[in-house]
Amino acid sequence: MADRIAEVVRETKETQIRVTLNLDGTGKSKIETGVGFFDHMLESFARHGGIDLTVETKGDLHIDMHHTVEDTGIVIGAAVMKALDGFKGIRRFGHAYVPMDETLTRCSLDLSNRPYLIWKVAFSRPKVGDMDTELFKEFHHAFAMNSGACVHLETLYGDNSHHIAESGFKALARALRTAVEIDPKTGGLAPSTKGVL
């Protein structure tokens, strides 16, 4: 099997981003977005997804964090799509329940090339650290739309906004980890009756 590695660069007037990833890595990461809590979430995403991930983002943080977070989601999603190379041979579906203290979050994911996001996550506070909690949805939406993933993410219960955010990133990572695994029963083909995804 060829290495499932990708690099994607995106430059706009608002952000300059370079992402490299290896879907068959060991969870190593080097994350630099300029947003401390977001860096922490992406490090957790890489570790629990078993993905080697490098993210270099320079955004217009003098305005706010929106473009930085959303555009990073776009580029990470595009890199996953590129590394999957037509979704050949993968399990396609993944799901995970992730508890974190008082919080429990569930993610179900289908790498179907029909991107969609169902977001049932509510935060108890408007910020975690300096990061607006509304930006977590923006990241997950951007990731789903650009990776070709149908993502259903739901916090079943929880109070602490840090735990809610982190359990969501970990649940996405664990679901993705399963979905991108090579399934020998596919014979190297896309797992669909259509023959392509």
Other C-beta atoms closer than 10 Å to the C-beta of 178 total 17
Q: Looking at per-residue confidence, does 152 or 194 come out higher?
A: 152
Cα gap 136→86, rounded to integer Å: 27
Q: Domains plus CATH for the chain?
A: 5-186 (3.30.230.40)
Average pLDDT over residues 9-29: 98
Question: What are the residues whose beta carbons fall under 8 Å from the beta carbon of 101, sequence distance 6 or more?
Answer: 160, 163
Flag whether pLDDT at 187 surpasses 90. no
Average pLDDT over residues 171-180: 98
100-118: per-residue pLDDT in tens?
A: 999 999 999 999 999 999 9
Cα gap 123→110, rounded to integer Å: 25
Q: What percentage of the chain reaches a pLDDT higher than 70?
A: 99
Q: Which two tokens stand for residue 120?
A: 């049932």
The pLDDT value recorded for residue 188 is 83
Average pLDDT over residues 128-155: 97
Amino acid at 67: H
49-102: per-residue pLDDT in tens?
A: 999 999 999 999 999 999 999 999 999 999 999 999 999 999 999 999 999 999
Half-sphere exposure of 174 (CA within 13 A, CB side): 16
Q: Which residues pair with 55 in a beta bridge?
A: 19, 31
Flag whether pLDDT at 11 surpasses 70. yes
Average pLDDT over residues 172-190: 92
User: How do strand 149-157 and strand 116-120 relate by DSSP bridges?
Assistant: parallel
Q: What is the mean pLDDT of the chain?
A: 96
Other C-beta atoms closer than 10 Å to the C-beta of 99 total 14
The pLDDT value recorded for residue 1 is 59
Flag whether pLDDT at 197 surpasses 90. no
